[in-house]
C-alpha cells in the first residue's frame, strides 16, 4: 500500500473514532398506542399514488446537519434532526434516499405499491434507511416535527450516481460462484477484482458498451467472457472511470476495481494489472477473493431490468464521448494477458 493510501486510511480511521466519541443521546422509539389512536393522516393515496413518510428520529450524532430527501431525480424536502416529511409519489418505480452535498445515502426502493402508505426511517449513525410497520412509523411521526417546505423540487445531484449503480438499492444481483470460467478459442476472460476494503459493503456497478456487467464488493471478483477485440468498461462514483480493453481469444486478463476516498465521495478506478510486475499480488488475490456471478433471476426482475434500461439510455452519450476521445481512459492491452 502506498504512503498516500496509508494516509487516507488513517484519516478515515480517525474520522470513525471521532464519530464514535460523539455518539450519544439517541431517542429510542417504540409503538405508542395512544399516539397511534390520535394520528390523523394528511391525505389518503389513490390507486395511482404511493405515499411515503420519511422519518428522521432525534439523534445527538450528526444532529446539527441537515439532509435533503430525494425521490427519483428530484430533491423534495429538507430533513432536519427529529423531523419527518410526506412524499406523494406516482405508483411505479420509486427510488428514495438522502443527499448531503453530492453524496447520496440511505437508499430505498418503493416499487409498485398502489394505494399504499409506506413508512421509512433513517438511522443517521449508520446511513441506512429501512421500512417499519405502520404503528411504529405513526408513533415516530407523532414525536417528530414536520419538515419545512422547500417549495419547488430541486435537482437531485446524486441521481446520476444512482442510475449508474442500481445495486445501491439493495438488489442482490451477485451470488457466490462455483467454478471460474476459462477462455477458449472464441473468447477471452476478464477478471474484475475488488480487494480494497474501504466502504467494502457499498456496491459499485460496472457497465460495458453492451449493458450491465456486474456489481462489486470488497474481497470479491467476477469474470466476464468477451469476444476478441475492443470493449469499453465504465463505472461512476465521484467521477467516471473508463477502461478500454483490446483482448485476444484464448487469453485471460486481470483488472483491479480500486476504491479510494475522493473529495466528497468515493473515487473509483478500473485499473489494468500488469501480469509480470503484479504476479505476486495476483496470486494473493486468487487465493483470497470470493468468486461471484450474476444472479440472472434478479437481473431479470422487472424492477431491476427497467432501471438497467434507464441507465443504458443515460450512459449512451457517455460511451459516444468515449469513442470520440472526449473522456479520459485507461488501456487494457494484449500485453496484459496472463
Q: List, for residues 132-149, the tens digit of each pLDDT value.
A: 999 999 999 999 999 988
Please tell me whether residues 38 and 171 are part of one structural domain.
no
Question: Strand, coil or helix: what is 163?
Answer: helix
pLDDT band at 124 (very low <50, low <70, confident <90, very high): confident
Residue 261 has pLDDT above 90, yes or no: no
| Residue 58 counted as domain residue | yes
Residue 7 has pLDDT above 70, yes or no: no
Please tell me whether residues 190 and 320 are part of one structural domain.
yes
pLDDT of residue 48: 98
| Residue 14 counted as domain residue | no
Neighbours of 258 (CB within 10 A): 17
Name the domain boundary from 128, 157, 186. Answer: 157
| Residue 1 counted as domain residue | no
Please tell me whether residues 153 and 183 are part of one structural domain.
no
| Residue 52 counted as domain residue | yes
Residue 268 has pLDDT above 60, yes or no: yes
pLDDT of residue 20: 38
Start-end of H helices in the chain: 3-22, 33-38, 134-142, 159-164, 279-288, 296-299, 302-323
The dihedral built from the CA positions of residue 223, 224, 228 and 233, taken in this order, carries a sign that is negative
pLDDT of residue 64: 59
Please tell me whether residues 318 and 184 are part of one structural domain.
yes
Residue 28 has pLDDT above 80, yes or no: yes
pLDDT of residue 61: 57
User: Is pLDDT larger for residue 4 or for residue 322?
Assistant: 322
pLDDT of residue 157: 86
Residue 160 has pLDDT above 70, yes or no: yes
Please tell me whether residues 182 and 141 are part of one structural domain.
no
Q: What is the rounded CA–CA span in Å between residue 61 and residue 81?
A: 10
Block residue for cell numbers 483488472: 255
Please tell me whether residues 327 and 229 are part of one structural domain.
yes
Please tell me whether residues 241 and 303 are part of one structural domain.
yes
pLDDT of residue 27: 77
Domains held by the chain: number: 2
Residues 6+ apart with CB under 8 A from 296: none
pLDDT of residue 257: 97
Mean pLDDT (the chain, rounded): 90
pLDDT of residue 182: 97
Residue 21 has pLDDT above 50, yes or no: no
Beta bridge partners, 54, equal 85, 120
CB 110 within 8 A of CB 89: yes
Please tell me whether residues 122 and 186 are part of one structural domain.
no
Please tell me whether residues 285 and 305 are part of one structural domain.
yes
Q: What would the mean pLDDT of 29-34 be, rounded to a whole number?
A: 96
Residue 105's domain spans which residues?
A: 22-157
Q: What would the mean pLDDT of 47-68 be, rounded to a whole number?
A: 83
Residues 6+ apart with CB under 8 A from 23: 60, 61, 125
Q: What would the mean pLDDT of 113-140 be, rounded to a whole number?
A: 95
Backbone angles phi, psi at 152, to 5 degrees: -65, 145
Please tell me whether residues 196 and 322 are part of one structural domain.
yes
Please tell me whether residues 198 and 149 are part of one structural domain.
no
CATH assignment at residue 105: 2.60.40
pLDDT of residue 126: 84
| Grid cell for residue 149 | 417546505
pLDDT band at 26 (very low <50, low <70, confident <90, very high): low
Range with lowest mean pLDDT among 77-91, 107-121, 146-160: 146-160
| Residue 6 counted as domain residue | no
| Residue 222 counted as domain residue | yes
pLDDT band at 102 (very low <50, low <70, confident <90, very high): confident
Name the domain boundary from 138, 157, 176. Answer: 157
Q: What would the mean pLDDT of 184-208 be, rounded to a whole number?
A: 94
Q: What would the mean pLDDT of 60-74 be, rounded to a whole number?
A: 78
pLDDT exceeding 90 applies to what percent of the chain?
A: 78
pLDDT of residue 63: 54
Q: Which of 140, 145, 62 is nearest to 100 (CA)?
A: 62
| Residue 7 counted as domain residue | no
Please tell me whether residues 132 and 229 are part of one structural domain.
no
User: Is pLDDT larger for residue 9 or for residue 222?
Assistant: 222
Name the domain boundary from 131, 157, 183. Answer: 157
| Residue 16 counted as domain residue | no
Residue 211 has pLDDT above 50, yes or no: yes
pLDDT of residue 19: 39
Amino acid at each position: 500500500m502506498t504512503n498516500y493510501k496509508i494516509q487516507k486510511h488513517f484519516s478515515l480511521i480517525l474520522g470513525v473514532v471521532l464519530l464514535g466519541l460523539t455518539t450519544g443521546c439517541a431517542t429510542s422509539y417504540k409503538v405508542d398506542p395512544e399516539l397511534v389512536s390520535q394520528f390523523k393522516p394528511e391525505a389518503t393515496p389513490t390507486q395511482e399514488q404511493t405515499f411515503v413518510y420519511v422519518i428522521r428520529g432525534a439523534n445527538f450524532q450528526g444532529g446539527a446537519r441537515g439532509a435533503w430527501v430525494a425521490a427519483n431525480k428530484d430533491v423534495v424536502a429538507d430533513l432536519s434532526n427529529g423531523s419527518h416529511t410526506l412524499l406523494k409519489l406516482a405508483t411505479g418505480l420509486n427510488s428514495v434516499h438522502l443527499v448531503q452535498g453530492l453524496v447520496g445515502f440511505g437508499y430505498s426502493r418503493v416499487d409498485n405499491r398502489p394505494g399504499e402508505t409506506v413508512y421509512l426511517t433513517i438511522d443517521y449513525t449508520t446511513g441506512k434507511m429501512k421500512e417499519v410497520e405502520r404503528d411504529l412509523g405513526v408513533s415516530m411521526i407523532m414525536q417528530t416535527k414536520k419538515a419545512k417546505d422547500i417549495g419547488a423540487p430541486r435537482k437531485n445531484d446524486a441521481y446520476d450516481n444512482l442510475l449508474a449503480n442500481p445495486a445501491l438499492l439493495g438488489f442482490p444481483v451477485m451470488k457466490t460462484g462455483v467454478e471460474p470460467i476459462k477462455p477458449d478459442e472464441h473468447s477471452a476472460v476478464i477478471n474484475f477484482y475488488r480487494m480494497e476494503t474501504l466502504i467494502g459493503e457499498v456496491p459499485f456497478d460496472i457497465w460495458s458498451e453492451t449493458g450491465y456487467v456486474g456489481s462489486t464488493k470488497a474481497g470479491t471478483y467476477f469474470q466476464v467472457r468477451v469476444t476478441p477485440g475492443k470493449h469499453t468498461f465504465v463505472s461512476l462514483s465521484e467521477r467516471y472511470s473508463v477502461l478500454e480493453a483490446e483482448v485476444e481469444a484464448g487469453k485471460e486478463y486481470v483488472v483491479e476495481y480500486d476504491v479510494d476516498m475522493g473529495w466528497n465521495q468515493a473515487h473509483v478506478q478500473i485499473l489494468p494489472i500488469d501480469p509480470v510486475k503484479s504476479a505476486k499480488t495476483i496470486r494473493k488475490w486468487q487465493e483470497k477473493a470470493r468468486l461471484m456471478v450474476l444472479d440472472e433471476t434478479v437481473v431479470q426482475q422487472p424492477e431491476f431490468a427497467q432501471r438497467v434500461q434507464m441507465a443504458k439510455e443515460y450512459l449512451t452519450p457517455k460511451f459516444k464521448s468515449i469513442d470520440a476521445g472526449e473522456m479520459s481512459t485507461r488501456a487494457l492491452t494484449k500485453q496484459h494477458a496472463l
